[in-house]
Amino acid sequence: MIETLQPPIRGMILDMDGVLWRGNEAIGDLPAFFEHLAQAGIKVVLATNNATRDAEQYLERLAGFGLHLAPWQIVNSAEAAAFYLLQKFPKGSPVYIVGEDGLVNTLNAHGFSQAADGALAVVAGMDRGINYEKLRQASGLIRGGALFLGTNPDTTFPTPNGLIPGAGAILAAIQAASGIEPVIAGKPERAMFDLALKRLGTSPQETLVVGDRLETDIAGGQKVGCRTALVLSGVTSLEEAEKWQPAPDVIARDIMALLE
């Protein structure tokens, strides 16, 4: 299916949850899928709005599905946030982080240190340890002029027991307390896609964004000029997909169907 697209696809930006796996179950024969892409000369970056894991943790999970990728092939919203900050501030600048270890470790790896005093930015994401003191510190810094950068706007987060509040819920609380709307680093905004394209070394026209969410994966891919493929193995129904405008270039039941 994807081999009929013109100009030919040279790079692919793949979402993970709902595209490569559901819970702990792989969607299709993942090693065979990636081997087919390699033989076709298609480079791959995996992109997710989830900032609670860092690249090494994702590589470990992928290895459990029989996939062995390089660190540069993992782009999450924490990486996108660091990419955005490096375009705005000197490496080593102090930032105030509202988030979990994945976000903290990623920002630290790119030279941004956790600090309340003198913080140039507040970077916020999913934080299951959120409390009043963090909300007070973050909103106060933002009112004082610090950049408000959110990892992603997803208001909910899927778990085996159903939906729980996501990063977007944390951002909403800080926005309510500060009166300032956040800049978003993850999908559907540009930073994540620009970083993925930079790592792939491909142009938007020769890159296919594959995801299961219309409002993040497809909308974001379309915003930067990439071709898009929606898979129905995640959260979106065929009826919802057919109503989306502009329509994705491809609608498929899952990633294996992209090869048919």
10-residue mean pLDDT series, the chain (260 residues): 82 95 91 96 95 89 96 96 96 96 93 94 96 98 98 81 88 98 96 97 98 95 97 94 96 94
Residue 158 tokens read as 């899927």
In this prediction, residue 5 carries a pLDDT of: 80
- 3-state SS, residue 94: strand
In this prediction, residue 53 carries a pLDDT of: 85
Query: Is 17 annotated as catalytic?
Result: yes
In this prediction, residue 164 carries a pLDDT of: 85
Q: What angle do CA 34, 231, 221 make, to 5 degrees?
A: 85
Q: Are strands 147-150 and 183-184 parallel, antiparallel or unpaired?
A: parallel
Own/partner long-range contacts of 143-148 (Cβ < 8 Å, ≥24 apart): 143/178, 143/179, 143/180, 146/96, 146/119, 146/120, 146/121, 146/122, 147/88, 147/120, 147/121, 147/122, 147/183, 148/121, 148/122, 148/124, 148/174, 148/175, 148/178, 148/180, 148/181, 148/182, 148/183
Query: Residue holding tokens 């810094």?
Result: 141
Report d(CA 15, CA 18) in Å as an integer: 8
- Mutual angle of helices 101-109 and 77-88, in 10-degree steps: 40
Query: Is 15 annotated as catalytic?
Result: yes
Report d(CA 121, CA 24) in Å as an integer: 36
Minimal CA–CA distance to 48: which of 84, 10, 27, 21?
21
Q: Are strands 74-76 and 207-211 parallel, antiparallel or unpaired?
A: unpaired
In this prediction, residue 158 carries a pLDDT of: 65
Residue 19 tokens read as 């595209």
Query: Residue holding tokens 């990486």?
Result: 79
In this prediction, residue 235 carries a pLDDT of: 87
Domains in the chain with CATH codes: 2-49+188-259 (3.40.50.1000), 78-184 (3.40.50.1000)
Report d(CA 54, CA 103) in Å as an integer: 7
In this prediction, residue 160 carries a pLDDT of: 65
Catalytic residue among 15, 127, 154, 212: 15
Query: Residue holding tokens 């913080």?
Result: 119
In this prediction, residue 162 carries a pLDDT of: 77
